[in-house]
Structure 1
Amino acid sequence: MKKYDFIIAGGGMAGLSLAYYLLQSPLRDRRILILDRDQKNRNDRTWCFWERDPREPLSPRINQRLAATRPFESILFRSWKSISFHGTTYSGLLDMGRYRYKMLRGIDFYSFMEAELAKWPNVEQKQATIQRIKDTPQGGFIIADDEPYIADYIFDSTFALKLDQPENHNLLQHFKGWVIQTKSPCFDPQRPEIMDFRVEQHGDCRFLYVLPFDEHTALVEFTLFNDTLLTDAEYEADLRQYIDRYLPTGGYVICETEYGVIPMSDEPTQENPSEHIIRIGTAGGFTKPSTGYTFQRTQRYLQTIVKNLTDTGKPNRKEPWFKRRFKFYDSIFLNVLEKHRYPADDIFTRIYTENPRRVFKFLDEDTYFLEELRLFATMPFWPFLSAFFDVLRRKVVG
């Protein structure tokens, strides 16, 4: 049975990012094994996120946090200084201040990581199906394709959340998108649309992204926040209807398709379920429940894990007590969506138009409490108050 210092179970975004940060640290000479059942050789997903312009002076606290995603600045597919929004009472540009909206394609990330990992002979990658992970007194034990391995620590991104416990809020962010090429020049490459609610809501939260690559090419993505997946035909019907109604394409062809499902759940997660096993990615609670955004939080959390591992020999990441308030905020927002307490398209319109710049800082969990109170004051009072007490009942009273 082969012994490693670190085994990374799951070679997706979280697992590969962790390997990268380990190799940039004093732990770069440790033996690392990465296991994943799939080859990462196609553009299977896109990550979008916002962050402040790294060229601008910031507070030391935010500068430290922004360092998380800068290693990938060179492989960004697109970066925009302005974004558009189309809600219930407002249509136009949003004031992002010093923030930038960024897009990273899966294939570019995988290619970058493949080149980086190939530089290190102490890193092994194996395509295998993971069958079992457990803790033992000797270390983390794993079986993949009937082969046993052991390591000082296993970093696991494959653990599946339950997503069915009644005391939790369990919604899904699911989406289907097309990269289309149009006959007519109908896109502004400098102006992506991050939320367009001009689709039938059906009591849910439904909107379109339009992320332009050039005047003729864009990713058009239909996204929903609810608890019920659609059929392929239903996703495609809304995509076609939106394109035909709002985009003067002159005709178009579909070049690429992407589909995904991200849990929007406040289910408590165990990042450290045992001494030698650490869960990362969605399995470790790295996905923000109220938005489904994962990429930037994953980079931040992984850097902290590697720093702790370097400084103390243990990877355990501890979150300050007062920082946990954001999880409570997430639960309240999920409750409003789950119980249909107020139209979601109007909630997002208020959030983005009445909180310029502050909203991006808030969603990144970089705000101070006073800033959060100012944002809450722009929300519909009674629906969120009802959600507040319902969350208390479900989480505290049970």
Structure 2
Amino acid sequence: MKKYDFIIAGGGMAGLSLAYYLLQSPLRDRSILILDREPKSQNDRTWCFWERGPLTTQTDQSEGLLTRSQPFESILFRTWKSISFHGTTYSGMLDMGPYQYKMLRSIDFYAFMEAELAKWPTIERKQATIQRIKDTPQGGFVIADDEPYIANYVFDSTFALKLDQPENHNLLQHFKGWVITTSTPCFDPKRPEIMDFRVDQQGDCRFMYVLPFDEKTALIEYTLFNSTLLLDQEYDTELRKYIDQFIETGGYQIRETEYGVIPMSDEPTQENPSEHIVRIGTSGGFTKPSTGYTFHRTQRCLQDIVQCLVETGKPQRTVPWFKRRFKLYDSIFLNVLEKRRHPADDIFTRVYTENPQRVFTFLDEDTRFSEEIQLFATMPFWPFLKAFFAVLRRKIAG
């Protein structure tokens, strides 16, 4: 049985990104096996995220270290320098400062990765269903389609969180979107709407995205933060209602459909459950619990892991103790949503309109504590205070 340096279990966004960063580092000569149960040949999702202006440095060859990079600038489907928001007391543009709002289609990402990975003879890719992953004294052990594989390290994006433990908050971000083409020009290509709360909230957090491609084409997406998925026709009903009420299409055609569910959970995750196994992506806790944002955070975490491998030979990254305060913030916000302590549309209106630029830095977990206090001061006091003590009680009891 051949032993690999690295096995990547799951060839989705996290697994492929990790392979890319390994190949951009001094570890590019290591043997890598990527296992995934299906080919990546369809546009099965769209990633949207905000990010500061593009960086140019990727690898410092003199030091042999991987630096922060934004390698997917060339394949972004759209980039916007300003965004629109429609809340309870404000409707208009938001000041993003140095940030840009970016949209990446999965089909473009997969094609990019296919071309990049094909350049390296050290990469093997196999289509197989992973049945078991375990640690052994000899390394990480994987069984896929009844075939055994072993590596110095296995990077696993297939591990499923429980999402049902009572001591944790376990909400879902679920959404359905249509790419529509309209008969009349009705979209401003320079003005995406990241949150439009002019939909029936039904006691939850519900909003629409409108991401224009051109004057006649846009992705319209209905998104909910709660614990219960809808029937397929319920998403369709809300999409039609919103388009008919707020967009003068002159008639439209549905070109594409996408659907997704992202966990919004503060369930503790083990990024390093054993010596030779590392969990990545949602499995490793890379999804931000309070927003469901995954793509940008995953890229940052994976670059840190590769950096650790280059510097120490081990993939165990260290998160500073004080940085863990953001997990508490996430839990508090999830508690406010779960217990419906305050209307979510008003919370988001306050956080976005009263914290220009700062909110994006905060959600990226790059703020100083003094800036966080300023942001918290704009939130409804009593609901968040009650949530704070509820979180403490739940964690102590758990």
Same fold (TM over 0.5): yes
Q: CA deviation at 1:52?
A: 1.4
AA of the residue aligned to 2:107: I
* 1:283 and 2:283 matched: yes
Question: Corresponding residue for 1:235?
Answer: 235
Which residue is 1:179 aligned to? 179
Task: Kindly provide the CA deviation profile for residues 229-281 of structure 1, in whole angstroms up to 9, marking residues without a partner as x.
Answer: 00100000000000000000000000000000000000000000000000000
> How is 1:40-59 mapped onto 2 (pairs within 5 angstroms)?
40-54=40-54
Deviations 1:16-62 (A, max 9, x none): 00000000011101110000011101100011111112379xxxxxx
Q: What is the identity, as a one-letter code, of the residue corresponding to 1:333? A: F
Equivalent residue, structure 2, for 1:188: 188
The answer to whether the 8 A contact 2:175-2:259 is kept is yes
> What is the DSSP-based 3-state SS (H/G/I as helix, E as strand, rest coil) of the residue aligned with 1:391?
helix
Aligned residue number for residue 15 of structure 2: 15
What does residue range 1-398 of structure 1 map to in structure 2 within 5 Å?
A: 1-54=1-54, 68=68, 70-398=70-398
Matches of 1:51 and 1:371, distance apart in 2: 19
Corresponding residue number in structure 2 for 1:59: none
Distance 1:55 1:268, change over 3 A: closer
- Indicate conservation of the 8 Å contact 2:153/2:278, yes or no: yes
Letter aligned with residue 97 of structure 1? G
Rounded Cα–Cα distance in structure 2 between residues aligned with 1:201 and 1:336: 15
Cα offset, 1:69, TM superposition? 5.3
> Which amino acid in the other structure matches residue 273 of structure 2?
P
Cα deviation digits, residues 188-237 of structure 1 (max 9, x gap):
00000000000000000000000000000000000000000001000000
Q: Distance in 1 between matches of 2:68 and 2:76?
A: 14
Query: Secondary structure in 2 aligned to 1:5?
Result: strand
CA displacement, residues 74-124 of structure 1 (integer Å, 9 cap, x when unaligned): 111000011000000000111111111000000000000000000001100
1:61 maps to none
SS at match of 1:220: strand
The number of residues matched between the two structures is: 389
- For residues 216 and 376 of structure 2, the distance between their equivalents in structure 1, rounded to whole angstroms, comes to 40
Which secondary structure state, in structure 2, belongs to the residue aligned with residue 323 of structure 1? helix
Deviates more, 1:47-56 or 1:3-12: 47-56
CA distance in 2, matches of 1:134, 1:169: 28
Equivalent-residue separation in structure 2 for 1:202 and 1:104 (angstroms): 31
Indicate how the Cα distance of structure 1 residues 68 and 216 shifts in structure 2: closer, same or farther if over 3 A, else same.
Answer: farther
Say which SS state the counterpart of residue 71 (structure 2) adopts: helix
Percent identity over paired residues: 81
Gaps of 5+ in 2: 57-66
- State the 1:396 CA deviation: 2.4
- CA distance in structure 1 between the partners assigned to 2:193 and 2:353 by the alignment: 14
C-alpha contact 2:167 2:397 (8 A) present in aligned 1: no
SS at match of 1:351: helix
Paired with 2:83 and 2:157, the residues of 1 have a C-alpha distance of 32
Distance in 2 between the 1:310 and 1:94 partners? Answer: 40
Cα pair 1:69 1:296 within 8 Å, conserved? no
Q: Is the 8 A contact 2:55 2:69 kept in 1?
A: no
State the alpha-carbon separation in 1 of the partners of residues 122 and 16 from structure 2.
15
Task: Give me the whole-angstrom Cα distance separating, in 2, the residues matched to 1:54 and 1:154.
Answer: 31
Secondary structure at the counterpart of residue 132 of structure 1: strand
Q: What is the rounded CA distance, in whole Å, between the counterparts of 1:121 and 1:55 in structure 2?
A: 28
**1:158-214 deviation line (CA, Å, top 9, x unaligned):** 000000000000000000000000001000000000000000000000000000000
- Contact kept, 8 Å, 1:169 with 1:267, in 2: the verdict is yes
| Contact 1:15-1:157 within 8 A present in 2 as well | yes
Distance in 2 of aligned mates of 1:309 and 1:5: 12
1:306 Cα deviation after fit: 0.5
1:68: how far off? 4.4
Is the CA contact (8 Å cut-off) linking 1:68 and 1:296 kept in structure 2?
no
TM-score (norm 1): 0.96
The one-letter code matched in structure 2 to 1:388 is F
Alpha carbons 1:88, 1:346 under 8 Å: kept: yes
Whether the 8 Å CA contact 1:179–1:218 is kept in 2: the answer is yes
TM-align CA RMSD:
1.2
Query: Hey, what's the Cα distance between the residues in 2 that align with 1:379 and 1:394?
Result: 22
AA aligned to 2:51 is E
Which residues of structure 1 form unaligned runs of 5+?
Answer: 57-66
The alignment partner of 2:203 has SS state of: coil
Counterpart residue identity of residue 387, structure 1: A
Partners of 1:53 and 1:281 lie apart in 2 by: 24
Amino acid paired to 2:382? W
Q: After the TM superposition, which parts of structure 1 deviate over 6 Å for at least 4 consecutive aligned residues?
A: none
Question: 1:397 Cα shift?
Answer: 3.9
